[in-house]
């Protein structure tokens, strides 16, 4: 869909839009509390269904026999932080999940025996972050894991017996960013950063790494080229590869002859995903996500199944789990303006059976459609973007808003990530409060080819920020909002963009909400997690090199901390005390700079969170503060803070008086 036009000739008859007061308020808990169920899967042998669901208010892993889905039992015992990632062992005998402590991202691997229910820590080490380094179709009781318990910068490769817990060292890591194994769990490739800002790929034979790389990339291809795995017989190595082209193609390389052939490519966007044969590993379908995600089948039988799902499901869908014999799939369905549903698809019988609805409390809620748009930046770069309008400004037949309303510019993190089309809880929350919500894939975002990424190199706070300003101008020109009724909000890089927006363009935004955003790019680079250090060359090349006079000057210029005195609009900041990516000091220092200059700022600190909020109570509490902050300075509506703080660990470090109801909420919490 192209950008809505604002020409009078294109407008249809006026659309009747309800007054916001007549639109039911969606409770925060319905959007950000625990889902009823999530992350549904089916075991490889097809015997078990599994999912995440609350136990005593905390997400845990549950299972039930496929033959009797009602016979459910909880398999894990998390009592503090929710389990957010889990998967089945290849032999279907155990469930595996990862968990950190307080958001420190030192994830350990845990296993639960399905038959006995016994749970154990499979990587029992301190200050260690586990990586899954390899799995096999034919060796089902073992996997390869990477462990950085010897050296925090590098992950050594170990063979883990999933049923005994035994660990055997396979390869010691002497400076590599990663490894690639085949179906026999043999290491076939070692990957190492190079001086060109890209990667060198070395062949590995019987544990010995070749002296010279067989493949290399430079900076331009570093985020759009990588090996994607071997077929089961090891005869084909797949690549996602942008070398010699702009967008990344899917390439099949014959491992004996070295011959390569293009499986799929698209000029609009990178190849984003693939479905592979469960037993042979051969690619059966691929996806491209430009404005929306589109699947194309290479295998006729897979094509028939995808067509069946398109014909029988409303909105978008994705296959999130498959049995080894590929007769049954777990399919996630996003109807977009209804709560997400998950289905069990029997490919043999040709039937869809409901598995669960993730948030049944949203049934009948006034959810708003998302529009996919193309916004042209000042230099002609096209920015794929997503707009959600509130019910009080419902779009007409051409997608134009029927009245201007306040708008929140919601900036994604990364920045080497992207926004995408589909149900978005934050979009729905803000639209329900009366705001238009615009998310922009600014230059530097991934998925749209290497030139799109490279256009953001050394442009933090400059051309990347100009893209956001151009998106605001686009929204004003089209009558979405007014020039003085726009807030900026985001997490991680989006938090940086918020600080940059208020510091570098202080008159553009009415207010800002920064979540775990860096304020000083120099100190950010000095405190990255140790396991990111091997990739530091790419950070320097894309952000600025603090080891050079020119690079250090650039980083200081683009750091909002050094322009904190220019901030004149209200600012709300949230930070996790255990954040390993953006340390607490990043928020502390800009808050201190603003307080020294008597500039109002509200600062919320979470002692048990990291880079974002894992606990629903903490997320709900911050959103309670944020929506009342936005209502006060932008003019939308808000659900009262009420007792949201009672169930959260939020510490209001400073500025409670700048958010309506926050002082009373603090007093109420102290009394309980």
Peptide bond just before 415 cis, omega within 30 deg: yes
Grouping H, G, I as helix, E, B as strand and the rest as coil, residue 470 is: helix
- The contacts of residue 658 (CB under 8 Å, 6+ apart) are 570, 600, 601, 602, 629, 632
Q: Is the dihedral of CA 145, 148, 150, 156 positive or negative?
A: positive
CA dist 566 and 593 (Å) reads 11
Grouping H, G, I as helix, E, B as strand and the rest as coil, residue 281 is: coil
CA dist 475 and 116 (Å) reads 58
Q: Which of 122, 162, 130, 169 is nearest to 149 (CA)?
A: 130
Q: Are strands 571-576 and 602-606 parallel, antiparallel or unpaired?
A: parallel
- The contacts of residue 592 (CB under 8 Å, 6+ apart) are none
- Residue 572 · residue 626 · CB < 8 Å: yes
Q: Which of 425, 362, 366, 373 is nearest to 391 (CA)?
A: 366
- The contacts of residue 667 (CB under 8 Å, 6+ apart) are none
Among the listed residues 492, 519, 559, 587, the single catalytic one is: 492
- What are the C-alpha distances in Å from 424 to residues 316, 334, 656? 13, 10, 28
- Residue 165 · residue 122 · CB < 8 Å: yes
CA dist 365 and 338 (Å) reads 8
Phi, psi of 55 (to 5 degrees): -130, 115
Structure tokens at 482: 């007014």
Structure tokens at 222: 């570093």
How many degrees, rounded to 5, is the angle at CA 24 between CA 19 and CA 27? Answer: 140
- What are the C-alpha distances in Å from 479 to residues 4, 70, 110, 408, 439? 10, 51, 52, 14, 17
CA dist 283 and 547 (Å) reads 44
611 is known as an active-site residue: yes
Grouping H, G, I as helix, E, B as strand and the rest as coil, residue 540 is: helix
Q: Which of 417, 388, 571 is nearest to 495 (CA)?
A: 571
Among the listed residues 427, 579, 587, 608, the single catalytic one is: 579
CA dist 508 and 468 (Å) reads 11
592 is known as an active-site residue: no
CA dist 300 and 660 (Å) reads 59
CA dist 112 and 466 (Å) reads 50
Q: Are strands 351-357 and 370-376 parallel, antiparallel or unpaired?
A: unpaired
* DSSP secondary structure string for all residues of 60-103: EEEEEETT-TTS-EE-----SSPP-EEEE-TTSSEEEEEE-STT
- Residue 188 · residue 203 · CB < 8 Å: yes
Phi, psi of 620 (to 5 degrees): -65, -40
- The contacts of residue 189 (CB under 8 Å, 6+ apart) are 179, 180, 201, 202, 203, 204, 227
465 is known as an active-site residue: no
Burial 22-41 (b: 16+ CB within 10 A, else e): ebeebbbebbbbbbebbbbb
Task: Enumerate the active-site residues.
Answer: 492, 579, 611
């Amino acid at each position: 869909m192209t950008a809505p036009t604002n020409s009078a000739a294109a407008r249809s008859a006026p659309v009747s839009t309800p007054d916001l007061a007549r639109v039911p308020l969606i409770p925060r808990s319905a959007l950000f509390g625990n889902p009823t169920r999530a992350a549904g899967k089916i075991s490889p042998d097809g015997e078990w269904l599994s999912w995440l669901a609350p136990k005593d208010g905390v997400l845990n892993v549950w299972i039930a026999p496929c033959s009797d889905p009602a016979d459910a039992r909880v398999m894990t015992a998390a009592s503090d932080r929710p389990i957010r990632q889990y998967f089945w062992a290849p032999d279907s005998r155990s469930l595996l999940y990862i968990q950190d402590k307080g958001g420190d991202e030192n994830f350990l691997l845990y296993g639960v025996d399905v038959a006995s229910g016994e749970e154990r820590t499979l990587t029992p080490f301190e200050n260690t972050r586990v990586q899954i380094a390899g799995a096999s179709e034919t060796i089902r009781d073992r996997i390869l894991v990477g462990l950085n318990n010897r050296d925090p910068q590098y992950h050594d490769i170990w063979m883990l017996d999933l049923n005994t817990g035994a660990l055997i060292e396979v390869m010691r890591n002497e400076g590599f960013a990663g490894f690639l194994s085949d179906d026999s769990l043999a290491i076939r490739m070692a990957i190492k950063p190079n001086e060109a800002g890209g990667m060198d790929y070395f062949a590995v034979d019987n544990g010995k790494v070749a002296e010279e790389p067989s493949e290399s990339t430079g900076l331009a291809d570093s985020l759009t080229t990588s090996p994607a795995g071997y077929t089961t017989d090891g005869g084909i190595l797949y690549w996602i590869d942008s070398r010699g082209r702009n967008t990344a193609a899917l390439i099949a390389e014959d491992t004996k002859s070295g011959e390569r052939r293009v499986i799929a490519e698209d000029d609009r966007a990178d190849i984003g995903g693939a479905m592979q044969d469960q037993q042979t590993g051969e690619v059966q379908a691929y996806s491209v996500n430009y404005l929306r995600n589109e699947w194309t089948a290479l295998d006729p039988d897979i094509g028939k199944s995808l067509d069946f799902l398109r014909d029988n499901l409303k909105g978008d869908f994705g296959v999130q789990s498959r049995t080894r014999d590929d007769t049954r799939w777990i399919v996630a369905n996003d109807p977009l303006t209804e709560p997400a549903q998950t289905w069990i698809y029997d490919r043999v019988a040709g039937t869809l059976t409901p598995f669960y609805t993730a948030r049944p409390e949203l049934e009948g809620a006034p959810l708003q459609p998302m529009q996919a748009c193309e916004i042209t930046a000042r230099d002609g770069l096209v920015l794929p973007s997503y707009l959600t309008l509130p019910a009080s400004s419902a779009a007409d037949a051409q997608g134009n808003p029927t009245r201007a309303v306040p708008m929140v510019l919601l900036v994604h993190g990364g920045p080497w990530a992207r926004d995408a089309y589909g149900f978005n809880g934050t979009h729905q929350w803000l639209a329900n409060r009366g705001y238009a919500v615009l998310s922009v894939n600014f230059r530097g975002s991934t998925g749209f080819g290497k030139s799109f990424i490279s256009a953001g190199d050394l442009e933090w706070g400059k051309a990347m920020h100009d893209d956001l300003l151009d998106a605001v101008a686009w929204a004003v020109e089209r009558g979405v909002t007014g020039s003085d009724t726009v807030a900026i909000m985001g997490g991680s890089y989006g938090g940086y963009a918020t600080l940059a927006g208020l510091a570098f363009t202080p008159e553009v935004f009415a207010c800002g909400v920064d979540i775990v955003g860096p304020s000083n790019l120099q100190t950010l680079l000095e405190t990255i997690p140790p396991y990111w250090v091997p990739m530091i060359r790419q950070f320097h090349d894309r952000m600025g090199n603090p080891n050079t006079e020119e690079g250090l000057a650039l980083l200081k210029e683009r750091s909002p901390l050094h322009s904190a005195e220019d901030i004149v609009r209200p600012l709300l900041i949230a930070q996790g005390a255990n954040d390993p990516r953006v340390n607490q000091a990043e928020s502390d220092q800009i808050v201190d700079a603003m307080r020294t200059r008597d500039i109002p700022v509200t600062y919320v600190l979470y002692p048990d969170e990291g880079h974002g909020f894992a606990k629903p109570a903490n997320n709900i509490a911050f959103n309670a503060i944020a929506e009342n902050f936005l209502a006060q300075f932008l003019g939308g509506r808000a659900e009262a803070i009420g007792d949201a703080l009672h169930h959260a660990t939020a510490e209001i470090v400073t500025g409670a008086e700048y958010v309506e109801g926050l002082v009373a909420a603090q007093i109420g919490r102290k009394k309980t």
